[in-house]
Structure 1
């Protein structure tokens, strides 16, 4: 994409991401990177095992400095979510209790609605090895879980954050089919341009003894044209293909074949004669 990072809009809004007792700095960094990819910026840590700040986290964040530099650390989960109005707890396994369980899509829509209403929200993520405790889930308002392979349901913490961050960004899009850039518009070639490609290619192949035996030449040409006609070339594509053929034609051609009947033979360099 054109332009530098400083020229692009930096999205930095949405729910707070809370990691409960994360272990590895690299995982925290990858979480920060996932957040930055999809417009989230506020990261909170509850008792990170290796302390904070963490050089490995900074390295793994891949320039998501605005997330890393504003990360807050708390001694308890209660303190980390005290200022939030609404909190989701992520989990891959069924929990006892009466909390509503939502899909990532519904959870993101709910978070978006509360964000628009001016409420402060958050998403809890548990430890790398065993997630959140039941007591920690109990502090959340609702549960969000991911539709994963039942036989392999465990997600890396950065993957879980990435999935929810992606759904968060989607929830704010007016058109889910929209893409950030389009292919360069090109005009379809005219039939005259296509015929010119046919003539140039067939002439180059003929000069190199491609059409053999001679009696099959008309059928071989038909097949070749059928292949080249299966899709609609643009003018630029025709130009590219003709440029390739022109480049090949700079090398010495074999002697033109004599259009005679009877058995043909090859000379020492493999040309037909």
Structure 2
């Protein structure tokens, strides 16, 4: 069962990576949405434990948005024990762990743990429970670590795909090198301090000539305000060229107005 065009070119990364195990999933659309979330976060291995309506299910492919290969490679198991039998570590999502002594990690800490497990060449699985009730006590007994998302305590409701997406995102960003902040400059680049200083000198000179800075007591503070304004952001070379053009035209207009008719 495949999508119309075979979907995105998704394939498992080399080495070990976490296995997403959906325990008794109820809706095909949710399984497809989970595959989509996995593709977003660089996860590939999907296992289904006793899906309510059997497998495969065409509606899953419709909801996967091109993550067809994840669905095609999905494996089906009759119970949790067989689904995790070849794993070295098993984590389980659990909103409210009770009456159990076991490590509990946030999604971010779980992702870091999963990265460390994979780096050792070990296989790990993460259990996600049925849409309505989540994992039961017997399911949780198969896990060595629980994962609990720190969300708004008065409303922690997530659907199945959202729960997988949170973990997939943390898994991806745990190894991602994207800078947390960038300035999109396209074909230009940030101006140097020397270029900015040259523009500010010219601007102040023109403001002096126009009489804008005639108030002797206020002049230093006004110049500082202008400097702070331009220094605060990363002004680009193209923006400085535009500002130079603005000052030029203002200066020409002032000189034209000063000429006798």
Fold agreement, TM-score > 0.5: yes
How much has 1:113 moved relative to structure 2?
2.6
151-160 or 188-197, which deviates more? 188-197
Structure with the greater alpha carbon radius of gyration: 1
CA distance in 1, matches of 2:72, 2:242: 49
SS of the aligned residue for 2:76 comes to: strand
Structure 1's 93 and 257: CA in aligned 2 closer, same or farther, altered over 3 A? Answer: same
Structure 2 equivalent of residue 157 of structure 1: 160
Give structure 2 stretches of 5+ with no counterpart: 1-7
SS of the aligned residue for 1:143 comes to: strand
Structure 2 equivalent of residue 91 of structure 1: 94
Cα RMSD of the aligned pairs, angstroms, is 4.0
How much has 1:240 moved relative to structure 2?
4.1
164-173 or 90-99, which deviates more? 164-173
8 A contact 1:194–1:238 mirrored in 2: no
Structure 2 equivalent of residue 20 of structure 1: 23
Q: Does 1:34 align with 2:31?
A: no
SS of the aligned residue for 2:65 comes to: coil
Structure 2 equivalent of residue 127 of structure 1: 130
Structure 1 equivalent of residue 236 of structure 2: 234
SS of the aligned residue for 1:45 comes to: strand
Structure 2 equivalent of residue 139 of structure 1: 142
8 A contact 1:14–1:39 mirrored in 2: no
How much has 1:83 moved relative to structure 2?
1.7
Which protein has greater RCO, CA pairs closer than 8 Å, 6+ apart? Answer: 2
8 A contact 1:197–1:238 mirrored in 2: no
Structure 1's 181 and 190: CA in aligned 2 closer, same or farther, altered over 3 A? Answer: closer
CA distance in 1, matches of 2:43, 2:33: 13
8 A contact 1:92–1:154 mirrored in 2: no
CA distance in 2, matches of 1:23, 1:202: 74
Structure 2 equivalent of residue 211 of structure 1: none
Q: TM-score, normalised by structure 1?
A: 0.67
Counterparts of 1:216-231 in structure 2 under 5 Å? Answer: 229-230=227-228, 231=230
CA distance in 2, matches of 1:55, 1:194: 65
225-234 or 78-87, which deviates more? 225-234
Structure 2 equivalent of residue 186 of structure 1: 190
SS of the aligned residue for 2:55 comes to: coil
How much has 1:124 moved relative to structure 2?
0.1
8 A contact 1:95–1:134 mirrored in 2: no
CA distance in 2, matches of 1:27, 1:93: 22
